[in-house]
Amino acid sequence: MRDRVAVVLLSGGLDSATVLAMALAEGFACHAMSFDYGQRHRHELAAAARVASSLGAARHVVVPLDLRAFGGSALTADSAVPKGRDETAMAADGIPATYVPARNLVFLSLAAGYAEVIGARDLFLGVNAVDYSGYPDCRPAFIESMERTINLATKAGVEAAERGEEWFRVVAPIIGMTKGEIIGAGLRLGVNYGLTHSCYDPVVRDGETRACGSCDSCILRRKGFKAADVKDPTLYA
């Protein structure tokens, strides 16, 4: 099994850390892939490097993605992060302000190109449609359509189809799990969630990155640790 190689999208957050642990537990040699696309994600990139190293990824690739040509309002926007919303409020507001245009489409496209280069067939990502389904590119319909498109877009995919095989697989193992279930599964696989970073609006104090505790991501994370009935290792501001 160990000779099978997978590409795992790794943001540095709780979800993708769990998915990396799952892919490793399935026996894949994992190439973790992160994207450097703006300032808000600096803390996440540092967390991604810690997670990849601690779990034993074969490689951690950081792809620079400079989208300043898109204009100020895109992936790196400094729009206000909503604070203190409960899940009903999050759901009622529909697709959130923190939505990034076509993010998982772009990330999976680049992951597919990389996978074809290194001979990987499995692309893992930590999208989740249960706790917070506001993002369109976290839904099963997108994942299925993306898998089909990747197989049509690539040499490996088209050549396999001629043999009656499906080559690339987009694997979203936590898409149907609650945050509590995700944390429980990760802990059983040895994930150190103290290394992960979820906050959309972190504060650096005394040289340490602290989570704000009140953005959507912090609220879902806190609730997840409570639901899993384990101590939350996050450092809050």
Name the residues that contact a second copy, by CB under 8 A: 61-67, 69-71, 73-75, 95, 99-106, 108-110, 112-114, 116-118, 136-137, 139, 141-142, 145-146, 148-150, 152-155, 157-159
Q: Left, alpha or beta for 174 (phi > 0: left; psi -120 to 50: alpha)?
A: alpha
For residue 128, the minimal CB distance to a second copy (Å) is 16
Nearer to a second copy, 35 or 193 (CB): 35
Contact between residue 105 and residue 137 where contact means Cβ atoms under 8 Å apart: yes
Q: Read off the tokens for 69.
A: 């040509």
For residue 130, the minimal CB distance to a second copy (Å) is 17
For residue 49, the minimal CB distance to a second copy (Å) is 13
Contact between residue 138 and residue 129 where contact means Cβ atoms under 8 Å apart: yes
Nearer to a second copy, 104 or 214 (CB): 104
Position of tokens 């099978």? 4
In Å, how far from its chain's centre is CA 124?
9
Q: How many whole angstroms separate alpha carbon 56 and alpha carbon 29?
A: 9
For residue 71, the minimal CB distance to a second copy (Å) is 6
Q: How many whole angstroms separate alpha carbon 84 and alpha carbon 61?
A: 34
For residue 148, the minimal CB distance to a second copy (Å) is 5
CB atoms under 10 Å from CB of 157, counted, come to 21
Nearer to a second copy, 157 or 184 (CB): 157
Nearer to a second copy, 107 or 193 (CB): 107
Q: How many whole angstroms separate alpha carbon 222 and alpha carbon 68?
A: 33
Nearer to a second copy, 20 or 228 (CB): 20
CA dihedral sign, ordered 88, 230, 137, 147: negative
Q: How many whole angstroms separate alpha carbon 184 and alpha carbon 187?
A: 5
Nearer to a second copy, 2 or 155 (CB): 155
For residue 135, the minimal CB distance to a second copy (Å) is 8
